[in-house]
């Protein structure tokens, strides 16, 4: 059985030279709009010969450095001279982005947990299916820009997963280092394989994502890192002309790795979490992570949580209120590529 094409349509012609803007039309028939669709903005620039780079943000709707950097890039695209093709979707889960929420208000879908998606599913599943069947096959290099969203804050980190083939690996690492993020992180999502990253790796694409802040805010320092990184990545990929100048700032590309469960700290009861550390602190195994106060019995001694590994506190929960199972912090330790 041949796979049926996506139900999402667009007037964009990905094979045409020049600059185009338009929308991806996600069919969505509902009470207020029987024949309606969700129009996801997209921009494409194609010139000459070269690789295709797919740049996306708003996979989660409450993460803003990516969408803002990509909107600024789109407004420059008519004047850019490139070799290859740029496909830019600033807010992939557009309903979530408009709602300022991690998940879609339509179907509660968390896009980054819906890959490979569902052609006949709800809008979020249809978006994932479109990415897998239509956008990823066009791309050589993919960059998906995230941040911690409302519930987390993350040190600025490019997340990398290099291929094993030595030649491809060297080319991949050259792009990762060109981006020049303060941290380059090898992530560990504890076996999660329903992500965009997992789908891109199954197609053998050069996939990068990144975490650049949180608190559902747009951090200007991290935005600058993202904008600089996109520019440098496009130059290193040969899409934008010009040399890659060495940075005067040496504090880039510190390689860190998330080392499984021991690097995560989870709340084990409901309450109010008082952290005993700050984002970016160097943590040692056994150190106090914080205390959970019981709101119903303020006279009772709070429950203490301890770190079970060493490393940098790269991602912290922003909401003080916790339930059992909430991740309050995770670490990543200095690492190497081998």
* Closest residue to bound Zn ion by CB: 146
Nearest distance from C-beta of residue 309 to Zn ion, angstroms:
23
Is the separation of the CB atoms in 337 and 255 below 8 Å? yes
Q: Minimal CA–CA distance to 59: which of 12, 98, 110, 106?
A: 110
Nearest distance from C-beta of residue 30 to Zn ion, angstroms:
26
Is 337 strand, coil or helix? coil
Stretches 113-121, 145-153, 194-202, 305-313: which one binds Zn ion (CB under 5 A)?
145-153
DSSP string, 28-61: --BTTBTT-EEEEEEEEEEESS--EEEEE--SST
**Given the complex with Zn ion, which of 132 and 289 has the nearer CB atom?**
132
Binders of Zn ion among 146-165, rule CB under 5 A?
A: 146
**Given the complex with Zn ion, which of 96 and 184 has the nearer CB atom?**
96
Nearest distance from C-beta of residue 57 to Zn ion, angstroms:
9
**Given the complex with Zn ion, which of 82 and 152 has the nearer CB atom?**
152
Q: Minimal CA–CA distance to 123: which of 132, 135, 136, 114?
A: 114
Nearest distance from C-beta of residue 59 to Zn ion, angstroms:
6
Interface pattern 38-77 for Zn ion (x via CB under 5 A): ----------------------x--x--------------
Q: 214-228: string of b/e by CB count within 10 Å (b at 16+)?
A: bbbbbbeebbebbbb
Stretches 7-15, 139-147, 234-242, 306-314: which one binds Zn ion (CB under 5 A)?
139-147
**Given the complex with Zn ion, which of 146 and 263 has the nearer CB atom?**
146
Stretches 80-88, 134-142, 144-152, 169-177: which one binds Zn ion (CB under 5 A)?
144-152
Q: Minimal CA–CA distance to 280: which of 156, 147, 152, 145?
A: 156
Sequence-distant (6+) residues with CB within 8 A of 246 are: none
**Given the complex with Zn ion, which of 212 and 277 has the nearer CB atom?**
212
Nearest distance from C-beta of residue 199 to Zn ion, angstroms:
15
Stretches 13-21, 142-150, 175-183, 300-308: which one binds Zn ion (CB under 5 A)?
142-150
Nearest distance from C-beta of residue 275 to Zn ion, angstroms:
21
Strands 264-266 and 327-334: antiparallel
**Given the complex with Zn ion, which of 152 and 180 has the nearer CB atom?**
152
Sheet order of strands, 271-275 included: 303-306, 288-293, 271-275, 321-322
Handedness of CA 44, 131, 187, 288 (dihedral sign): positive
**Given the complex with Zn ion, which of 63 and 231 has the nearer CB atom?**
63
Nearest distance from C-beta of residue 210 to Zn ion, angstroms:
10
Is the separation of the CB atoms in 22 and 11 below 8 Å? yes
| Residue 31 vs residues 28, 93, 123: alpha-carbon distances, Å | 10, 21, 15
Stretches 38-46, 143-151, 199-207, 237-245: which one binds Zn ion (CB under 5 A)?
143-151
Residue 286, phi-psi category: left (phi > 0), alpha (psi -120 to 50), beta (remainder): left
Nearest distance from C-beta of residue 296 to Zn ion, angstroms:
33
**Given the complex with Zn ion, which of 63 and 177 has the nearer CB atom?**
63
Interface size with Zn ion, residues (CB under 5 A)? 3
- Summarize as ranges the residues that interact with Zn ion (CB under 5 A): 60, 63, 146
């Amino acid at each position: 059985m041949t796979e049926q094409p996506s139900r999402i349509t667009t007037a964009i012609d990905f094979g045409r030279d020049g600059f185009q803007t338009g929308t991806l039309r996600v069919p969505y028939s509902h009470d207020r709009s029987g024949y309606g669709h969700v129009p996801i903005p997209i921009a494409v620039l194609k010139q000459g010969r070269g690789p295709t780079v797919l740049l996306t943000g708003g996979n989660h709707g409450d993460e803003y450095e990516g969408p803002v950097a990509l909107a600024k890039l789109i407004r420059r695209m008519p004047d850019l001279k490139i070799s290859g093709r740029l496909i830019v979707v600033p807010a992939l889960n557009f309903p979530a982005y408009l709602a300022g929420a991690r998940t879609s208000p339509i179907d509660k879908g968390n896009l980054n947990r819906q890959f490979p998606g569902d052609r006949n599913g709800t809008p979020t599943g249809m978006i994932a299916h479109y990415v897998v069947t239509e956008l990823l096959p066009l791309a050589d290099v993919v960059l998906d820009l995230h941040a911690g969203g409302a519930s987390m804050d993350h040190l600025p980190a490019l997340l990398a997963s290099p291929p094993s083939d030595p030649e491809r690996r060297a080319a991949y690492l050259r792009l990762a280092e060109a981006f020049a993020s303060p941290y380059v992180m090898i992530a560990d999502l504890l076996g999660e394989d329903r992500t965009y990253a997992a789908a891109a790796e199954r197609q053998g694409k050069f996939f990068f994502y990144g975490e650049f802040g949180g608190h559902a805010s747009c951090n200007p320092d991290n935005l600058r890192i993202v904008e600089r990184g996109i520019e440098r990545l496009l130059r290193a990929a040969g899409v934008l002309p010009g040399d890659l100048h060495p940075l005067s700032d040496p504090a880039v590309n510190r390689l860190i790795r998330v080392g499984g469960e021991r690097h995560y700290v989870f709340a084990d009861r409901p309450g109010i979490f008082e952290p005993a550390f700050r984002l970016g602190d160097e943590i040692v195994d056994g150190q106090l992570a914080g205390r959970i106060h019981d709101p119903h019995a303020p006279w009772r001694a709070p429950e203490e949580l301890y770190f079970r590994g060493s490393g940098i506190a790269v991602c912290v929960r922003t909401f003080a209120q916790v339930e059992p199972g909430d991740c309050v912090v995770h670490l990543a330790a200095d690492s190497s590529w081998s």
